[in-house]
Amino acid sequence: MLFNYCSTAMPPRKLLVFLTTFLVALFTFSDPSFAAANNVSIDFPYFTLRNLTLLGDSYLRNGVVGLTRELGVPSSSAGTMIYNKPITFFDSDSNVTASFSTRFSFSITNINPSTFGDGLAFFLSPDNQTLGSPGGYLGLVNSSQLTKNKFLAIEFDTRLDPHFDDPNENHVGLDIESLISIKTGDAMLQGIDLKSGNWITAWIDYVNGKRKLHVSLSYSSFKPENPVLSVDIDLSDYLKPVMYVGFSASTEGSTELHLIQNWSFSTFGFVPARPRLSPHNVSDSSVTVKPAIPVPSSGSKHHKRIGFGLGIAGLAFFFVVLLVFGYVSVRKWRGIRTQMSFKAELLAGPREFSYKELKSATKGFHSSRIIGNGAFGTVYKALFASSRSGTIAAVKRSKHSHEGKTEFLAELSIIASLRHKNLIQLLGWCVAKGELLLVYDFMPNGSLDKMLYQESDQATSLNWSHRLNIAIGLASVLTYLHQECEQQVIHRDIKTGNVLLDGSFNARLGDFGLAKLMDHDKSPVSTLTAGTMGYLAPEYLQYGKATEKTDVFSYGVVILEVACGRRPIEREPGSLKMVNLVDWVWGLHSQGKIIEAADKRLNGEFEEEEMRKLLLVGLSCANPDNVERPTMRRVLQILNNEVEPLVVPRIKPTLSFSYGLPCLDDIVSESEEEEEEDSESSISLSEIRVC
């Protein structure tokens, strides 16, 4: 508003003079010599979202921060919590490096004790966007760029990872720009089990004058005399002038849950240049500076002090107004530039909807219009009054504009350039009010998983003809993405929840938020493992390399679900034992009884040879050895009776990884998005054994 007023009401020359004066004042005010470094003290007896940034899978619940996904079955997860405000650790004027001390309470618990890892870390980093890979990387570094992130961290490691020279699965270590600890301490020597599930209080103290760092642990609030870890080290070379502090954690094939309950942090060692008039309050945290002690004086001096104080207050207020004006102006300028960039790139593509139009069509995004939830956000049914927009559509609305922006841009840039009858049609988009929205054709029959697993009798409406047509349609669109596009598209999240059904039960593939474009002649690059556990190929879980064969594996799992009417893993009736769908079908195949895997709800109303062929195609695609999996073009030819089916071995092949990486043993996971979409359905799980 202020920007609009100044830019329209003020003449250009005066506006230029004003902006020049503003910039001079801004730079003068931000000059490091203008104010000396001060000691900082922050305290969170409990957490709120103010002054904190949550990245990855981290979340806030009842004043406690969870750093990794809270699931009842093993998953791969990484999350970070960062304090928003940068903290000064080096004062160039006095050439002093700060000492620091922090205290926090954490809990590492495990729903399934047979799976564990990988732990959490307290870190200091010059970057306020620190988020790394799951697994042994503790959410600190990316598995494909081990040296990219700069950090100083204290790790609380619950897994022995030989790659990082870990001594055991219950240790504390000092990490500096590497996950190979400079020194470690065994927590069990002080009777501390990091995975006990109990609340553990940790103290981390660094005294720069003594060049010593100590880490102490206790189940109580009393600090023990002897630290778990003591390191003689000079951190002045690693503590940058300004750094961010926070916590990160990760899992891989584990149900380990990492919680932070409270946190205090302080720096000391700086000599304040002058006292401040009052403490500086920072919401839940506070930066405390001792106020000046008043000295009695005469009345005239008292009036002079009042005048002087008012002058300073007025000047400070003026600077605040300038800063706010500058901030608002820059934000608005960036927003205008971003939207202009969007419009320029998408001028010939899908239309831009107004936020008002989408809000009206969804009744203000009312809960009664919700038709699904996913990793990107919530999907609403939209009824448009305008005939040019169509009468019904689906609007996908992001939960968090910051975290969802990457996925939004990925989905928009990819799907807008694709055309296939078995792809969800993108009608338009909207970027407004910090939200990201995509508008699609509405699919009246919903998602394939709901149609297969809903408890009502409507699942029987998905007859054999529909199921075979879905398998062929999905094979057709994947053939298009893998081999017929100018640039190959690896979807990376093929699952029944992302296969939607139109009014004629034709399959429409959607959700390209995890998709990756790549040239056909380029080898796949190592990347952060993404997708939904239960549909991920063994080699993708092991190495994080997405190829067209990882999509083929996911397709195989989906096809077996379509034929059998069973989830990737289901609990055996009357037992706690989990039954793996691929193993179960392969077991029947080895006995020559594969046709018994057919969905009983079909009541035998199917062509037996077609059912046998579909089951064998599913097994061939879900082969643990990616070399033996067919291409999607070959799958489509088989289903269209253009070529002979592949020979599927009677015994499920075993696969050994030989690159010196640890074995991924007994991974059991679920589709967390399916659990969100249908809380009343049975848990969707999958089990993969790779040895």
pLDDT of residue 277: 44
Which residues are known to be catalytic?
493
> Per-residue confidence at 23, pLDDT binned at 50, 70, 90?
very low
Q: What is the pLDDT of residue 205?
A: 96
In the predicted model, is pLDDT for residue 677 greater than 60? no
Give Cα 344 to chain centroid, integer Å.
29
Residue 278's CB: how many other CB atoms inside 10 A?
Answer: 9
Q: What single letter denotes the amino acid at residue 503?
A: G
| Full 3-state SS string of 91-115 | ECCCCEECEEEEEEEEEEEECCCCC
- Fold classification of 38-287 is Jelly Rolls (2.60.120)
The amino acid that residue 29 corresponds to is F
Bridge-based pairing of strands 119-125 and 99-110 is unpaired
Q: What is the dihedral of CA 172, 52, 320, 127, to 10 degrees?
A: 50
Residue 486 is predicted with a pLDDT of 72
Alpha carbon distance 83, 77 (integer Å)? 21
Type and span of the H or E element at 272: none
Residues 6+ apart with CB under 8 A from 5: none
Residue 410's pLDDT band (boundaries 50, 70, 90)?
A: low
List, for residues 287-305, the tens digit of each pLDDT value. 433 333 344 444 444 555 6
Residues 6+ apart with CB under 8 A from 189: 228
Q: What integer is the mean pLDDT of 261-289?
A: 61
User: What is the DSSP secondary-structure string of 273-323?
Assistant: SS-BSS-EEETTEEE--PBPPP----HHHHHHHHHHHHHHHHHHHHHHHHH
Cβ-contact 295, 100 below 8 angstroms: no
Beta bridge partners, 44, equal 263
User: 359-363, 391-395, 498-502, 639-643 — which is least confidently predicted?
Assistant: 391-395
CA atoms within 13 A on the CB side of 506: 13
Q: Give the pLDDT confidence score for residue 229 in this predicted structure.
A: 95
- Res 59: pLDDT: 87
Question: Taking the mean position of all CA atoms in its chain, how far away is CA 139?
Answer: 11
pLDDT (0 to 100) of residue 656: 57
Half-sphere exposure of 113 (CA within 13 A, CB side): 4
pLDDT (0 to 100) of residue 386: 63
Query: For the chain, how far is it from start to end, CA to CA, in angstroms?
Result: 63
**pLDDT beyond 70 at 31:** no
pLDDT greater than 60 at residue 674: no
Residue 513 pLDDT: 62
Burial of 16 (0-12, 13-18, 19+ CB in 10 A): exposed
Structure confidence at residue 200 (pLDDT): 95
Q: What is the mean pLDDT of residues 223-228?
A: 92
Q: How distant is the alpha carbon of residue 34 from its chain centre?
A: 40
Domain spans, the chain? 2-30+306-345, 38-287, 351-441, 448-688
Binned at pLDDT 50, 70 and 90, residue 622 comes out as: very high
Amino acid at 98: A
The pLDDT of residue 455: 52
Residue 387 has pLDDT above 70, yes or no: no
The yes-or-no verdict on residue 280 having pLDDT over 70 is no
CA dist., res. 376 & res. 181, Å (int): 36
Range name among 147-151, 209-213, 633-637 with the lowest pLDDT average = 147-151
pLDDT at 475 over 60: yes
264: β partners: 43, 103
Instruction: State how far the alpha carbon of 619 is from the alpha carbons of 57, 564, 591, 667, in Å.
Output: 33, 12, 15, 19
Residue 269 has pLDDT above 80, yes or no: yes
Q: Percent of the chain, pLDDT > 70?
A: 71
| CA-to-CA dists, residue 129 to 125, 159, 180, 243, 285, angstroms | 9, 25, 22, 12, 20
Please answer whether residues 173 and 219 qualify as being in contact, where contact means their C-beta atoms are separated by less than 8 angstroms: no
143 pLDDT band, cuts 50/70/90, is low
pLDDT score of 404 = 54
CATH number of 351-441: 3.30.200.20
Distance CA(45)–CA(584), nearest Å, equals 51
C-alpha–C-alpha distance, residues 495 and 127, integer Å: 35
Lowest-pLDDT range of 104-118, 286-300, 459-473: 286-300
Rounded to an integer, the average pLDDT of 187-210 is: 92
Q: How long a stretch of residues is the chain?
A: 691
Question: Considering the domain 448-688 in this protein, what is its CATH number?
Answer: 1.10.510.10
The set of residues, in sequence order, having a beta carbon less than 8 Å from that of 108 and lying 6+ positions away, is 119, 120, 156, 158, 194, 195, 196, 197, 200, 256, 257, 258, 259
Listed range (77-81, 538-542, 571-575) with the worst mean pLDDT: 571-575
pLDDT mean across residues, the chain: 77
